[in-house]
Amino acid sequence: EMLIGAPCKPLRWRPMARLAVLSLTLRSASAFAPVHQPWLQLKHPVEHKVGVARYRGGMGQVGGAAALRAETGATPPSDLSGDTVFGKIIRGEIPCDKVYEDDLCLAFKDVSPTAPTHILVIPKQRISQLSKAVDEIKDATSLKALLGHLMVVAADIGKQHSPNGFRTVINDGKEGCQSVYHLHIHVIGSKQLSWPPGV
């Protein structure tokens, strides 16, 4: 711990100094980190604006501890019946990396994944958000059948793409971090997830 070339007192590593050096080291390393090394990409969020949606990427890990991923939800539009990026994807106006499709739903890979497996399952019938589903689809029987179908499809996709376990997430409203006001289920997995998730 002596400085080379000049006599001096031993350099004492205070906790704050260690933290500063670690931060500097990681910042320097992350500048040269390739995309396939997410553990070095700490705080370099990449923003994607697609239609009315904004995604923030850049989540990584250091020493096995997940780094925080800054993300906020979007304010609900005044007209919840308006078109969204997911509506354009359903109609084929915007391409997607499709995983599954049937008469009721479509599943595709998220453009800003938080894990090796990150797939979105969306209904083809427009529902703005889970908390408003009953108001938007008056037929309770049809609504329950559709929501149940989405969960079954999400489970099948999760088992296929992340056989050792996965998480399903539905964001609702601004404080729930919903970014696109078209109901969608996140299927996340193929890595060890942490708990609690993003609170």
Q: Is 118 a catalytic residue?
A: no
Question: E strands along the chain, which residues?
Answer: 47-50, 53-56, 61-62, 65-66, 98-101, 105-109, 117-123, 166-169, 185-189
Catalytic residue, chosen from 161, 182, 184, 186, is 184
Please enumerate, as own/partner, the contacts of 135-140 that have beta carbons within 8 Å and a separation of 24 or more: 136/80
Query: Cis (ω within 30 of 0) for the bond into 196?
Result: yes
The number of CA neighbours under 13 Å toward the Cβ of 86 is 27
Q: For residue 70, give the amino acid letter.
A: A
Q: For residue 48, give the amino acid letter.
A: H
CA nearest to 88, candidates 126, 130, 47, 46? 126
CA nearest to 75, candidates 133, 128, 147? 128
- Residues designated as active site: 184
